[in-house]
């Protein structure tokens, strides 16, 4: 068994209480009999458990992650596609335990006002930080490590003397930087000048995305995203809907997202694809489940990605932008080099189609099941058949 751990922070807001003259305090609690535990200390906590890694997985992880550089921080791209699945398995369990620990502290009267828990980052420099899992090697694993680093420079050797190997989290590379050209910057300035009021759904969408992609707070992401889309659709109807639509919005409780979307689709000129209605029905079901049956449930990462893709598409439609017809659909990578980056069963959800970097070439921007996003040119992806586009109902 291999011990792995994750450090989480609450924005440096959570501390131990000291009496004058007391030293630092560290509290440890065993979560279960399988070795999972939480360690609480000033400004943070650590979550750990023991995972069963095969000899092949151990050897592959060491080969990919241990480098002859004292400043090396592991990146997701250092791992082979098969190891992506291994790390996701470890990450899923650690995040589950982290959510449990967060709940325990958040349920305290003082803990109610805590900010969202976030995975602590290891910083490459002042502007780049990456969240990692810490793998504490056993004596047998240390022996393997010593063989790997025997020829390393002295500074790199010292880095591994404690027997800690850092494993990157998939979330480290789920984002792409946003670059704006001159025209887009000018449009942003025009938006500022033309603003009379600020509808809340723009900010709500950003908060939902942060909870999904960074905080891994899927329940919160679902609630906020559903509210963002609901608010946006009501804005559409108030802008272009008829008097009956306006009366219903102002005088009645909110209808289901599916019906609200259908009403906007039929009664406004916004470019809203008809088939989004069924996908929004699943989001509405998930939202109701979270709000009314808050027991916690597992949800497919790519289903969440689909909801965010269509949420973004709706907001784009509001500002008069067209969306690609594949937005929200599941695709799989193909081509001669696909096996170098992806497993055979890899798939992803189309977020958008956009210009690739600073070129005029448009590519599909796809969120993969590893948490990464990739750009795909025509001929390098394949649309999955209809029967594989469906996700199980939320129950």
What percent of the chain is modeled with pLDDT above 90?
Answer: 36
- The answer to whether residue 334 is domain-embedded is yes
Residue 250 in this model has a pLDDT that exceeds 70: no
Both 338 and 258 in one domain: the answer is yes
- The answer to whether residue 57 is domain-embedded is yes
Both 122 and 215 in one domain: the answer is no
Both 220 and 306 in one domain: the answer is yes
pLDDT category at 17 given cuts 50, 70, 90 is confident
Both 84 and 230 in one domain: the answer is no
Residue 240 in this model has a pLDDT that exceeds 70: yes
The number of domains in the chain is 2
pTM score:
0.81
Alpha-carbon separation of residue 162 from 28, 137, 145, 165 (angstroms): 21, 9, 11, 9
Both 148 and 285 in one domain: the answer is no
Residue 24 in this model has a pLDDT that exceeds 60: yes
Both 131 and 195 in one domain: the answer is no
pLDDT score of 160? 84
- The answer to whether residue 124 is domain-embedded is yes
Structure-model confidence comparison of residues 160 and 86, the more confident one: 86
Q: Dmax over Cα atoms in the chain, in whole Å? A: 77
Both 317 and 229 in one domain: the answer is yes
- The answer to whether residue 267 is domain-embedded is yes
Residue 327 in this model has a pLDDT that exceeds 80: yes
Residue 5 in this model has a pLDDT that exceeds 90: yes
- The pLDDT tens digits of the residues spanning 191-205 come to 888 877 888 999 999
pLDDT category at 296 given cuts 50, 70, 90 is low
- The answer to whether residue 11 is domain-embedded is yes
pLDDT score of 171? 57
Both 199 and 259 in one domain: the answer is yes
pLDDT category at 312 given cuts 50, 70, 90 is very high
- The answer to whether residue 393 is domain-embedded is no
Can you give the residue range of the structural domain that contains 316?
182-388
- The pLDDT tens digits of the residues spanning 165-187 come to 999 887 555 456 777 778 888 98
Contacts by 142-147, CB closer than 8 A, 24 or more apart = 144/58, 144/59, 144/62, 145/62, 145/66
Last residue of a domain, one of 172, 193, 219: 172
18/38 Cα distance (integer angstroms)? 20
pLDDT category at 249 given cuts 50, 70, 90 is low
Last residue of a domain, one of 140, 172, 204: 172
Both 153 and 298 in one domain: the answer is no
- The pLDDT tens digits of the residues spanning 29-88 come to 998 877 899 999 988 899 999 999 998 999 899 989 888 887 778 888 888 888 998 999
Both 20 and 142 in one domain: the answer is yes
Last residue of a domain, one of 126, 148, 172: 172
Both 99 and 13 in one domain: the answer is yes
- The answer to whether residue 394 is domain-embedded is no
Both 157 and 283 in one domain: the answer is no
- The answer to whether residue 395 is domain-embedded is no
């Amino acid at each position: 068994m291999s011990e792995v751990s994750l450090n989480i922070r609450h924005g440096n807001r959570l501390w131990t209480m000291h009496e004058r003259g007391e030293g630092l305090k560290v509290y440890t609690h065993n979560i279960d009999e399988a070795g999972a535990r939480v360690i609480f200390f000033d400004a943070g906590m650590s979550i750990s458990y023991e995972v069963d890694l095969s000899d092949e997985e151990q050897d592959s992880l060491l080969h990919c992650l241990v480098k002859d550089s004292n400043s090396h921080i592991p990146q997701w791209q250092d791992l082979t596609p098969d190891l992506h699945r291994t790390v996701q398995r470890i990450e899923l369990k650690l995040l589950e335990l982290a959510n449990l620990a967060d709940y325990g502290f958040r349920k305290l009267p003082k803990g109610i006002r805590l900010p969202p828990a976030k995975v602590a980052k290891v910083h490459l420099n002042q502007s780049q930080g990456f969240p990692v899992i810490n793998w504490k090697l056993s004596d047998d694993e240390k022996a393997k490590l010593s063989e790997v680093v025997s020829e390393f420079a002295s500074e790199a050797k010292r880095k591994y003397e404690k027997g800690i190997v850092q494993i990157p989290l998939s979330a480290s590379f789920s984002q792409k930087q946003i670059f704006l050209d001159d025209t887009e910057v000018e449009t942003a300035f025009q938006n500022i000048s033309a603003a009379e009021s600020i509808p809340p759904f723009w900010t709500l969408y950003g908060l939902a995305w942060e909870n999904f992609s960074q905080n891994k707070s899927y329940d919160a992401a679902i609630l906020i995203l559903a509210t963002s889309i609901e608010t946006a659709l009501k804005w559409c109807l108030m802008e272009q809907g008829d008097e009956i639509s306006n009366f219903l919005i102002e005088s009645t409780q909110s209808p289901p997202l599916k019906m609200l979307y259908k009403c906007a689709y039929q009664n406004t000129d916004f470019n809203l694809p008809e088939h989004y209605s069924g996908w929004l029905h699943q989001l509405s079901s998930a939202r109701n489940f979270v709000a009314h049956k808050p027991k916690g449930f597992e949800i497919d990462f790519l289903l969440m990605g689909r909801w965010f893709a269509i949420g973004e598409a709706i907001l784009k439609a509001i500002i008069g932008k067209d969306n690609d017809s594949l937005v929200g659909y599941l695709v799989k990578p193909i081509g001669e080099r696909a096996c170098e980056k992806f497993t055979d069963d890899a798939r992803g959800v189309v977020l958008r189609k956009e210009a690739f970097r600073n070129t005029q070439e448009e590519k599909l921007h796809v969120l993969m099941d590893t948490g990464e996003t990739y750009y795909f040119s025509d001929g390098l992806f394949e649309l999955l058949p209809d029967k594989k586009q469906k996700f199980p109902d939320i129950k």
